[in-house]
Amino acid sequence: MRPNKRDELVRNALDVFYRDGFHATGMDKLVAETGISKTSMYKHFRTKEDLILAVLRLRDERFRNWFCRRVEEIAEAPKDRLLAVFDALEEWFKSPEFKGCMFIKAVSEFQNPEDPIHIQSATHKRMLLEFVQGIAAQARVTDPGTLARQLMLLKEGAIVTAVMQGEAKVAADAKAAARILIAAAARC
């Protein structure tokens, strides 16, 4: 099998799942939107769940690549990079493709903690936390773990609020709160 067609399927399926949701997207809709026949899909992926897992893997790779690189581009000093997390977040919110966090939505639809989709989504969040925790460790704060977890709470809250109330001021509020938390963590 050439990897081309398979990857093309995953790329297109990502857009549809991201736009319409997982349960609301049937395989027939994917046939119509991707132009790839159903038989071919089931040759690449045994089940719909397998396809969703591949989609989430691609989303994780794309998003973490973009987000981490962007944070490191925006600022140099570790403490500035902790703030840059929220600048990158704002860019994401304001981009026309923004439709919330795919992993929060996945967990909302597959709530069973033992579901592979749930597990993979939680892993994505854990890896993002580790990225931020790494920066916090370089920033010479007393408790990098706690600070990183708190900043991630602001980030997740900002995502959910941006989806529900619109993006106005959300990223700015989160960034202002982050600045206070970072300053407090550095003062000790």
Partner DNA sequence: CCATTTGTTTACTGATTTGTCAACTTATAA
Partner DNA sequence: TTATAAGTTGACAAATCAGTAAACAAATGG
Binding site for DNA (CB under 7 A): 1-2, 4-6, 25-29, 35-40, 42-44, 46-49
Stretch that binds a second copy, among 61-69, 75-83, 90-98, 165-173 (CB under 8 A): 165-173
If binding is defined by CB under 8 A, does position 133 make contact with a second copy?
Answer: no
Rounded to 10°, the helix 102-109/116-138 angle is 140
If binding is defined by CB under 8 A, does position 188 make contact with a second copy?
Answer: no
Nearest approach, Cβ of residue 107 and DNA (Å): 18
Residue by residue, DSSP assigns 103-146 as HHHHHHH---TTSHHHHHHHHHHHHHHHHHHHHHHHTT-S-HHH
Q: How far apart are CA 127 and CA 111, in angstroms?
A: 20
Q: How far apart are CA 170 and CA 176, in angstroms?
A: 10
Nearest approach, Cβ of residue 3 and a second copy (Å): 31
Number of CB atoms found within 10 A of residue 165's CB? 10
Contact partner at residue 188 from DNA, a second copy, none, CB < 5 to 8 Å by partner kind:
none
Contact partner at residue 49 from a second copy, DNA, none, CB < 5 to 8 Å by partner kind:
DNA
Stretch that binds a second copy, among 36-44, 70-78, 90-98, 150-158 (CB under 8 A): 150-158
If binding is defined by CB under 8 A, does position 117 make contact with a second copy?
Answer: no
Nearest approach, Cβ of residue 182 and a second copy (Å): 10
Place of tokens 């597959």: 110
Q: Is the dihedral of CA 3, 124, 70, 160 positive or negative?
A: positive
Yes or no: say if 11 and 58 are a contact pair by the CB < 8 Å rule.
yes
Yes or no: say if 177 and 146 are a contact pair by the CB < 8 Å rule.
no
Interface with a second copy (CB under 8 A): 19-21, 23-24, 99-100, 103-105, 107-109, 111, 121-122, 125-126, 146, 149-150, 152-158, 160-161, 163-165, 169-170, 173-174, 176-177, 180-181, 184
